[in-house]
Amino acid sequence: MTTDEVLALFPGSKEDAEIRSDLSRPPSQFGVSSFLIRPEKYGSKDKFAGVNQITFTLLDGRVSNFTVGYNGPEYSHVDKFVAKFVEGTTLPAADQWEAYVGMDNSLKILKCTDFEVRVFVGGQGGNLNYVLMKDLEAEKKLKERRDKARAKATPPGK
């Protein structure tokens, strides 16, 4: 998706000063930019009940990942959040997601061919709960750009 396609999902967001400020910053040297949406401010807020904010990261003007931050509820285990998250989708059940070592109760990852989904639970009343969706092709492209720049910056023989 492009920025305009994302903003179209949130009527009134194009006029938001905070978003305009985010979008006025030029992309990084690697083509990365980002902006934050707070759904409760817009006409489509009912479609995003319980969502505190969504952070969109773009590579070359297209969404490469986004993080949806929730206002709760508090879950006793990440599997309960994954179960809720996958309802009505074709995504696999929580037992097929990979637990993040050391954070087994709070972070699970689903790795697919072209994308990755991370689900995290935590915070007072679940105020740190989030879902992160990553485009793995875009991540690979960004890593290649960073590696190339690093190689250029390192003098031969070092």
On average, the pLDDT of the chain sits at: 94
Owner of token pair 């934050």: 36
Is 18's pLDDT higher than 70?
Answer: yes
Q: Would you kindly state where each structural domain of the chain is located, as residue ranges?
A: 3-74+122-153
Residue 149 pLDDT class (50, 70, 90 cuts): very high
Whole-model pTM: value is 0.90
Is 31's pLDDT higher than 70?
Answer: yes
CA atoms within 13 Å, Cβ hemisphere of 139: 10
Q: What percent of the chain has pLDDT over 90?
A: 91
87-93: average pLDDT: 94
Residue 153 makes CB contacts below 8 A (sequence gap 6+) with none
Residue 56 contacts residue 69 (beta carbons within 8 Å):
no
Residue 128 pLDDT class (50, 70, 90 cuts): very high
Is 157's pLDDT higher than 70?
Answer: no
